[in-house]
Structure 1
Amino acid sequence: MIDIGVNLTNNRFDKDRTEVLSRAKAAGVDAMLVTGTNIAESREALALCRQAPDFLYSTAGVHPHDADGVDSDYLDVLTELSQQSCVRAIGECGLDFNRNFSAPEQQKKVFAEQISLAARLNKPLFLHQRDAFDSWFQLLSPYLSCIPAMVAHCFTGSKEELLKCLDAGMYVGITGWLCDERRGQELRDIVKLIPLQQLMIETDAPYLLPRNIRPKPKSSRNEPAYLPVIVDMLAQLTGYSRQEIISQTRENTVRVFNLTAGVD
């Protein structure tokens, strides 16, 4: 299995990061993408990848929450980071109008600049969107044919939004949101509409601990070792076998992010 979204630089992993990676491997996770959410985190993600080049890859980007804080040279820094062999996508980038930690217009500006950068660098986009679908999709639409791949990370939207993403050829990342019958029921109802050829799996650790884990972990922290729980729920809701989901999501991820080391 490959976990396409792990916030491994998060301070909740500071005390046992090595053990977290060991547990992931023991659970059948043989590669993961470490998410970059701003310049500092993108640099940290790259540094972690260099310590485990046969296992970790990363993204480099600015999350909408961090859009207000970008320096004037941030695109130059992202360009430089993207040249490193570990860095396989631009992002996590997008729009988030749910909490507006950054001003909406600044979010749009920084997102548009990163979309353009991905097109120029011929890199996939690792995308975030919350309560901003129309603006988000409008900014992406002109680039659908000139960016190698777009991944709708941690998809939690509606049926209409899902179909638009799929029709646009995007890949859809599914997290432990699927395992929460309270918040995730709409996603549970529509996840079967995602073709296996456009599906990816992720934990978004340390966030979104699958609610159905038994026995319940003592900590609320999610980690990549719980990725099989998401696969099991996908199998239950879609009718695909665990092995079909594991094999096809692996193939999709290897192809989109051009993974080589550690992937047979």
Structure 2
Amino acid sequence: MSGWRALGAVAGPAWAGMTIVTTTRAGGVSLAPYDSLNLGTHVGDDALAVATNRARLRALLPAEPCWLEQVHGTTVHDADGASGAKGGALPIADGAFTTTPGRVLAIMTADCLPVVIADGEARVLAMAHAGWRGLAGGVLQAAVARVRGQGGAALRAWVGPAIGPRAFEVGPDVPEAFAGSGLSTAFIPHPEHAGKWLGDLPAIAGAMLRRAGVGTVVQSGLCTLEDARFYSYRRDGRTGRFATLAWLHEPA
């Protein structure tokens, strides 16, 4: 794990049969405001720096990650199927699933939730990118359905580093997007800013996962805005992206 320590990586749950890891800002070559391990190609960083950062990450992985063009939607890409988009374009999706050991799924974030979902025997793996729009649209339910569609049972999930309940300040349109869901307790009036709300996206994700039949939900408890190890769009505006990655192991 020395290579991962050099990148300041955060480990997910130590579930048998799979690996989950989240990168941080550390260990790369990008200059401010992207310093230093920015993995996003779409944020204005120097392309060579991003390529170098991705190469450092790739050296620690069993395969090239299945990168996505994330659009705050609900599409979940089949990472075991054909690449789909022509001309080398990335799949346009906010989730992916696989049953292939060593196939690395990746979600890039800078405040949104990276969510890992797997069955209890580590035979099926899915990941989702969930901002408030994706949560309201049902991206987590779509990812769970993909795992179940591959025969997955006894499901478990990890909600990775994301903006926390003390930092996610929103207008009334966001609570309204969850009207009728029974999740109104995840939003409270901001104690200092009239007309604003504080929302708990990890709690919403956890509730949605449990409703979808996920028996074990583990929260990282890490807030990207409050924890300077991570990129945060809300905190910094112009910034990079970190990645949460997961892959299945070969059966013993």
TM-score calculated relative to the size of structure 2: 0.36
Q: Name the structure with the higher helix share.
A: 1
**What TM-score does the superposition give when structure 1 sets the normalisation length?**
0.35
More strand by share: 2
Task: Using CA pairs under 8 Å that are at least 6 residues apart, name the structure with larger relative contact order, 1 or 2.
Answer: 2
